[in-house]
Chains A and B, each alone.
Chain A
Amino acid sequence: DTAVSQTPKYLVTQMGNDKSIKCEQNLGHDTMYWYKQDSKKFLKIMFSYNNKELIINETVPNRFSPKSPDKAHLNLHINSLELGDSAVYFCASSQGGTSGTDTQYFGPGTRLTVL
């Protein structure tokens, strides 16, 4: 009965590979997000989707492509992985999507290590 789940929890891969991280929420929320937390623990938003539509797209390389097949899922695909992509990636969701005051519920994170 996990609210926001991510798979895999750990991902170790070589430079240049393509990988995906999956996220699912069973809260019935309209909006989902991807955040990146680097080695210095800074947590930054990457994308947000509201009802399958992209509404926030921060300055993220084109190698990162989010895909939302339905409003309960937001997957993150990363092409041509680089060493600097190593980080913990968090998925989150919120009920609404148009207000900064909406509480966001975070998943457990996916630790990506690029060798």
Chain B
Amino acid sequence: GENVEQHPSTLSVQEGDSAVIKCTYSDSASNYFPWYKQELGKGPQLIIDIRSNVGEKKDQRIAVTLNKTAKHFSLHITETQPEDSAVYFCAASSPWNNDMRFGAGTRLTVKP
């Protein structure tokens, strides 16, 4: 089955700096890659997703890139703010099954 690896496990940046979180996946059939933000005591909330027919997607300060050949995708947050502090999870799913596999999560801390 699919295996998603995520790095780093913790990331601390200064407010205004950029943050990058990277994930790799094992199943070449995977074609949907969402990113979730989880704040303390809450469920994961989708912040951006990308499908394998595009290489990059951007939404304001958040962007995701996908390299299908290398089987990795990354989340980029620019101009970070303290409210960006949370745990971020990447995930992957394929059209052949109805499950979604998550990475281990990255705890992002943005210091004011």
Tell whether A and B belong to one assembly: no
Residues of B within 8 A of A (CB): none
Residues of A within 8 A of B (CB): none
